[in-house]
Amino acid sequence: MPPTSQASGQASGQPSTGGQSGADSLHVACPHCDTLNRVPPARLGGGKCGRCGKALFEGRPVALDGGRFAAHAERGDLPLLIDFWADWCGPCRAMAPAFAQAAAQLEPQIRLAKIDTEASPDLAARFGIRSIPSLILVHRGREIARTAGAMPLPALVAWARQALAR
């Protein structure tokens, strides 16, 4: 019988072992309930949350706020590409479709997230956001790359892959 791609998690938000040891699994935060799930690298593109049962990857950005940020950016093992934006920002709105399309191309290696600077000024201040849109690549809570300004899909995907490779 082929192995299933379902990951498991616990309602407490703590990672579940799911029969795997921490050394051969990645912690992946559920984009719906933020529960950390252990996923073997070979099954990274699939799986469902052990708590809510929804897909761990949907090929679209996750909307984060201060309450959800830690699960994805600090406790999760996936690099997180954050688009800091605001509804009133024309370049932000212009880049939104490209950012959404980039999620389909970059997942499951990179999780994409959007943070509204008006709704989460604490996160904007924490990262020193001075202009929007600003893209910040975070891995295990640490910033590894940053750029500002709208960019088309090919440039966005190329920048994210290059930044991750460094």
User: Which residues form the catalytic set?
Assistant: 89, 92
Contact 13/71 with Cβ under 8 angstroms?
yes
Q: Which residue has the tokens 């605001």?
A: 86
Nearest to 147 by CA among 61, 53, 160: 160
Q: What is the b/e burial string over 89-125, where b = at least 16 CB atoms within 10 angstroms of the residue's CB? A: beebeebbebbbbbbebbbbebbbbbbbbeebeebbe
CA distance 35 to 15: 7
CA distance 63 to 156: 18
Contact 44/15 with Cβ under 8 angstroms?
no
The three-point CA angle 138-18-48 to 5° equals 65
